[in-house]
Structure 1
């Protein structure tokens, strides 16, 4: 994923990357729930959608767990009259991620720096002059990782903004937990 993003990003100006529409699916593709199957992996995909540079765009119904394959199967209309069939946990995931993005300037406007690239996880920083956010997304359990402690503002403690896990603060390093599938977001500055 990171190699592809770097290669593609090298061909377009940053302003395009920062403002492009990012989608997990559309009326021309299978729905994300159908593609990944597991609601926890939908959360991982949505976590990337709302934390990477660009403008997140949703296909109506993905936020409630609608399923469907390509063609008409992926175009199931939004079941407004039947909220009892909605996956409320997935709905809350999307609401929380939208709220997170709205309250973090770094997630909306910040630059991107890759901190960890592993087989089943990535960690990256989104940064503005006044905010630094660490995002960790894993599709499965992994060993975790350490990143330099100087990324944390001196005297500050990491503030978990999403996911609920603690970021270990050790002499010289910040210890990222290896939980997964998971999305974790911490404010470092």
Structure 2
């Protein structure tokens, strides 16, 4: 279970790398100081956003082998890795391999030397008057990332680009990382990921490779790219949308899709990340925030908690320059400095992630919808002889729901009573929820 941090925001780094004037700010120790918080939460992995030298927000990389000077240097990251390892915490890095920043040396060589640059084949370039007529000062047109001209797309059919990405991944795995989040994986051919994955796994057999994929054929992408997982955006959307609209049928449908995916791979699950509005801001009724945590903690998958969500941080993502700032805030020096108002939600996360740790089999369980109405949902998770039943209600009234095979309350606001013939009913108060241990069906 991952605790996801966006480092540049977390440590309060300058907006632009050139603002430090060549100096190094040793700020990774700030994240190191929160590792015990990660463990108290119940997580076991640290998913780091970009930490490599970049121009601004970290996703415009200019050197994959160097730590961003706004965060620190090699000694700082080595210490962070060592401290995490001593606590049994794995670290996943964020690899931006679809594109690079314009000041990446591979692209500046193209601007300086034209078509004859040794790295010209790294990019999909279009010269204004033909490659043979190039002269200094002439800049080519090039593919970019979704219209952002400062993000220059790599040519993933170029063997040198494959070599570069393999070298970067293995370099940091050898330094102590355990896995990679592959940024904008959806925009890169799966053939590229397959080549990279095969070569990296030949040297690091246990590496965890997770791709950012927003929509499409998730299972096909994992199989063709030979990855471990992709981001489960379908489930993320269904969680907050169904809770807001009192439309549990949407969530039930998403769980059917989730179940199909589990036949091929274990998805990376989340209710918040650095690219979306905070779940506490997304939900219309704050009483349903705990429902989202219940779903994250009990559904099959590899769960990730975005730093701050466990304390009810708010923040709305906006489609403008700087529109991510509200969801990527600075964190205080110590967890004890967080507002006390967030502690009840933190404790609820602890309770539910503890349930998850005690039922580790949930990671790859089979999930089935037992019953659904507009405002209630009952589902079960089963693996071999293990089974739980989860009941959720967004109704303003108390409800009684069938909980097949349930025999004890593990967590939540419900209570059980017999229903005859080996069945059971769980009584939930308004906006209630319950996690129940159950006999196999």
Interval of TM-score (by shorter of Structure 1 and Structure 2): 0.7 to 0.9
Contact preservation (8 Å) 1:20, 1:55: yes
Distance 2:333 2:350 in 1: 17
Match of 2:291 in 1: 44
CA offset at residue 80 of structure 1? 4.2
The CA RMSD over aligned residues, in Å, is: 2.1
CA offset at residue 110 of structure 1? 2.2
Give per-residue Cα distances to partners, 1:14-51, cap 9 Å, x unaligned. Answer: 242xx211111111111011111544211001101111
Match of 1:96 in 2: 351
Give per-residue Cα distances to partners, 1:64-112, cap 9 Å, x unaligned. Answer: 1111010211112333442235510000011111100000144333211
Match of 2:425 in 1: 175
Residues 64 and 116 from structure 1, CA distance in 2 versus in 1: closer, same or farther, beyond 3 angstroms? same
Contact preservation (8 Å) 1:117, 1:123: yes
Q: 405, 410, 413: which is aligned to 1:161?
A: 410
CA offset at residue 139 of structure 1? 2.3
Residues 78 and 118 from structure 1, CA distance in 2 versus in 1: closer, same or farther, beyond 3 angstroms? farther
Length-normalised TM-score, structure 1: 0.83
Q: 252, 262, 273: which is aligned to 1:2?
A: 252
Bigger mean CA deviation after superposition, 52-61 or 108-117? 108-117
Match of 1:20 in 2: 267
Structure 2: gaps of 5 or more residues:
1-250, 318-323
Bigger mean CA deviation after superposition, 163-172 or 62-71? 163-172
Give the match's secondary structure for 2:415: coil
Distance 1:14 1:118 in 2: 26
Q: 1 or 2 for the larger relative contact order (CA 8 Å, sep ≥6)?
A: 1
Q: 390, 402, 407: which is aligned to 1:146?
A: 402
Structure 1: gaps of 5 or more residues:
153-157
Task: Please tell me whether residue 73 in structure 1 is matched to residue 320 in structure 2.
Answer: no
Bigger mean CA deviation after superposition, 37-46 or 94-103? 37-46
CA offset at residue 131 of structure 1? 1.6
Distance 1:118 1:33 in 2: 24
Give per-residue Cα distances to partners, 1:130-166, cap 9 Å, x unaligned. Answer: 2221111222345332355xx35xxxxx121111522
Larger Rg: 2
Q: Matched residue pairs, number?
A: 179
